[in-house]
Structure 1
Amino acid sequence: MTGTRRPTLGDLADLEAENALLLAIVEATSSGPDVEPLAAAVARLIVEATATDVCFVHVLDDAGRSLTLAGATPPFNGQVGRVRLPIGTGVAGWVAEHGEPAVIVDDKHADPRYVPIAALRGVDYTSMASVPMTSDLAGLVGVLNVHTVVRREFTARDIRLLTSIGRLVAGALHSARLHRRLVARERANERFTEQVIAAQETERRRLAGDIHDGISQRLVSLGYHLDAAAGTLRSDPAYAEQQLILARELADITVDEARIAIGGLRPPVLDDLGLAGGLTSLSRTVPDLDCELILGDERLPEHVEIALYRIAQEALQNVQKHARATRVELRFAVREGTVRLEVSDDGCGFDTGVGGFSGRDLQPEASGYGMRSMTERAELVGGTLTVRSRPGSGTTVTVTVPATPAVPI
């Protein structure tokens, strides 16, 4: 038969080695649900099987904006979690953006896609290959990079093998990320439950003090004035009338205090006017800021409206306390199955890096209870909270929630 090449013993040996590697990858991906140990195990297997010197496994973050180093072979395993690349930046960022492999044989600095990362010592390595890690279920999950000290022409077979590995690893990494999100959400729910209980107790003590010191005392005084009016109604009508006037004033004050106390427990405006009305009312509580409102009139499930109202309330308080702003813009809309709430100010801002960050990315000491509270409220109704800011350019807090979220536990 012409035109058909019979496989040689070398071909069969290569095929056996390749199958053995893929089997080892499969075993590694079934070892556990954690992202970093999985990525580290895969990196070691790839280096051993492909005769390369170092391997980096970059995983796409939950927001889909950047890659984080999740696994690396020594001496770079200490950089795991510390190296981030925005999509489109560097060779790995280019591969993530375009969804196709990239090979640099030598002279990396001449390639416009290459961005040196001091911590990864790219200058020590001559050649590199980078392939996307994709799965049918999740799409792009990350990028796989291998580097060699000695110049190497990566063959089509090399790229095919790395791509096959990438597809195997992508499914396992996607499952590991889902597991990590579930664990994080469960922990957030536990923390939030603890905070809610503590906040409830604090609120109950405050409310009990307000009722005792305010409403109860005024009702006692109201009773004295009414008794005085009743006792002098015939003997001294003028004095009785004066007591009734004072009683009326006390009654009005007591009603106002009761409304304030009830509003602290649950904003009644949501029952009557929905979230748009609640946000409009909320904007009037910050008279020192010029508030622009762009609000849709859609009604949402009760627990979602309360969560978004409290997030907006906390965000406006943060603007007042920290932003040194003169203007704030409040937006609420429901489009294409997604609820979106935005609070933007023209204040001093701060550095959040490229593309902003999730509220959960902040360290506790940097974020304070307010940011964590807003993030956890968003997550409890199935949403996410992100923050975009730059020094001197204000801050935007954005909450997105599915329009028909599951009822929270």
Structure 2
Amino acid sequence: MTAHGLGLADPERENALLVGIIEAISAGPAIDALAARVAALIVAATATDVCFVHVLDDTDRSLTLAGATPPFDREVGTVSLPLGEGVAGWAAYHQRPVFIMEGKENDPRYRYFPQLRGEDYTSMASVPMASSPGGLVGVLNVHTRERREFTVRDSRLLTSIGSLIAGAIHQARMHRRLAARERAHERFTEQVIAAQEAERRRLAGDIHDGITQRLCSLRFHLDAAMESLGGDNADRDFAATQLVRAHEHADLTLAEARAAVKHLRPPVLDDLGLADGLTSLARSVPGVDVRVEVEQCQLPEHVQIALYRIAQEALQNVVKHAGAGHAELTLRHREAEIELRVADDGRGFAEVAGGYGMGSMAERAELIGGQLDVESRVGVGTTVVATVPCASPSTIPRSGDRFGVTDC
């Protein structure tokens, strides 16, 4: 080791470092385990006192501490900084190494983290980790208690180490994303099955409690009428009464059957489409003045149904619980998203109440790949926002194209 640098003193130590990196890469796709092993190897190879491995999160907008040498290994996952902030964030954003011999607290790029005890270390080096297939994946930071002069060889060594492990970290990030997608797909499948079973139970209950009972009663009245036919005038009057009641039950049964079908698929969507269907829905809300602003959009059928049901449930909550005089219903394009928003000026609430149908609305939003956000303040009102990704943001009309059509 040179007196003031990080260079390896002999080929044997260089080979040992390479072997250690290869073994760390081969150990598995877990980012934290890989980062921890690499941090230890770097400290041993460079005669520094501590090493931090910061890795890009899945948003590619911030760095998260993924590995560190003791005693800072317990801080893994607790430190995060956006690209461009802090020395590591600056090195990542500009993809240029940073070397600070002393006085780092006076450097405008420096950001202090109490749990990392920066005051205990004098010199530091921050080097981006990047590879040709994956691009930037993170930053390596090394620190020394004593003042250290960093040389060109030091920079080359740390850059080489970063390049060696960047590909492995890129693959580990891809593996993590894939695992997250698989878990999301499993949850999605479970939610779909649960929603289907709940809908079947609801429909079965509607048929049993409503339509079936009506048909039994209808049959009773028809049987009574048939038995009375052919008798005296009193029997014929009784038969006529039974037929009238049978006719009433037939009308009620037909109405309940239509209601059950309507609950499965709102016919207004077939007749008017989502935008005009929402307008019609808003006009049917009793006792509340609903202002409507919607944009036409060609969405898949299941997405239209989900958004319509969310709006329907939200407006029902306005009527049943909000005590509002005014409400707003909007359907808009937001960059690569479709936003459905229902807001009221009602009484609001301090905490989101699960009994207000929030669970079913959130589930519908998740089932179509979106999310539901609810904001409410007591005495101010409630806002329900369902956001759904849109596949073709380039074709989305601007706010002035209120009734434009886009393929989403």
Q: TM-score, normalised to structure 2's length?
A: 0.69
Identity %: 59
Corresponding position of 2:87: 91
Q: Distance in 1 between matches of 2:151 and 2:314?
A: 54
Query: How far apart, CA to CA, are the structure 1 residues paired with 2:172 and 2:28?
Result: 8
Answer whether contact 1:133 1:143 (CA < 8 A) is retained: yes
Residue 367 (structure 2) aligns with: 377
Match of 1:34 in 2: 30
Give 1:143 deviation, angstroms.
2.1
Matched residues in 2 for 1:122 and 1:318: separation? 53
Q: Aligned residue pairs: how many? A: 371
Query: C-alpha displacement at 1:279, in angstroms?
Result: 5.8
Describe the superposition over 1:374-395 as per-residue Cα deviations: whole angstroms up to 9, x where unpaired: 68635xxxx6759798999978
Letter in 2 for 1:210: D
Secondary structure, aligned partner of 1:153: coil
Output one character per residue of 1:349-399: Cα deviation in whole Å (capped at 9) or x when no partner.
99xxxxxxxxxxxxxxxxx97798468635xxxx67597989999786644
Q: Which residue of 2 aligns with 1:358?
A: none
Which deviations, in whole Å up to 9, do the C-alpha atoms of 1:16-48 show, x marking residues without a partner? 755653453244223211111111111111111
Identify which range, 278-287 or 53-62, moves more after superposition. Answer: 278-287
In structure 2, which of residues 206, 212, 219 is the aligned counterpart of residue 216 of structure 1? 212
Q: Which residue of 2 aligns with 1:51?
A: 47
- Specify the SS of the correspondent of 1:74: coil
Deviations 1:53-109 (A, max 9, x none): 111112212122322211111111111122222333322223333333223322222
Matches of residues 139-154 of structure 1 in structure 2 within 5 Å?
A: 139-154=135-150
One-letter code aligned to 1:70: A
Q: For 1:305-333, what per-residue CA distance to the aligned partner results, in whole angstroms no more than 9, with x for missing partners? A: 56766787899899999999986665454
Secondary structure of 2:111's counterpart equals coil
- The separation in 1 between residues aligned to 2:71 and 2:359, in whole angstroms, is 38
The residue number in structure 2 matching 1:113 is 109
Query: Residues 228, 395 of structure 1: CA spacing in aligned structure 2 closer, same or farther, 3 A cutoff?
Result: closer
Q: Residues 386 and 399 of structure 1 are in contact (CA less than 8 Å); yes or no, is this contact kept in structure 2?
A: no
Retained in 2: the 8 A contact 1:384–1:401? no
Corresponding position: 1:258 with 2:248: no
Unaligned runs of 5+ in 1: 1-9, 351-367, 405-409
**What is residue 298 of structure 1 aligned with on the other side?**
298
Tell me the amino acid that sits aligned with residue 389 of structure 2.
T
- Contact 1:106–1:127 (Cα < 8 Å) also in 2: yes
Distance in 1 between the 2:372 and 2:55 partners? 19
Q: Distance in 2 between matches of 1:148 and 1:344?
A: 56
SS at match of 1:179: helix
1:178-327 to structure 2, matched below 5 A, reads 178-224=174-220, 250-266=249-265, 276=275, 293-300=293-300, 302=301
CA contact (8 A) 1:37 1:71 kept: yes
- For the residues of structure 2 that align with 1:321 and 1:50, how far apart are their CA atoms? 68
Q: Is the aligned partner of 1:400 residue 2:389?
A: yes
Select the structure of larger CA radius of gyration: 2
Select 1:165's aligned residue among 161, 166, 172. 161
Q: What is the SS of the residue equivalent to 1:115?
A: coil
Summarize the alignment of residues 331-342 of structure 1 with structure 2, pairs less than 5 Å apart: 331-333=331-333, 338=336, 340-341=338-339
The one-letter code of the counterpart of 1:150 is E
Superposed CA deviations along residues 246-273 of structure 1, whole A, max 9, x for unmatched, are: 6565455444433443455455555555
2:71 aligned counterpart, secondary structure? coil
Cα separation, partners in 2 of 1:127 and 1:58, compared to 1, 3 Å = same
Q: 1:332 to 1:214 in 2, by over 3 A?
A: same
Check the 8 A contact 2:221/2:243 in 1, yes or no.
yes
Alpha-carbon contact 1:315-1:397 (below 8 Å) kept: no
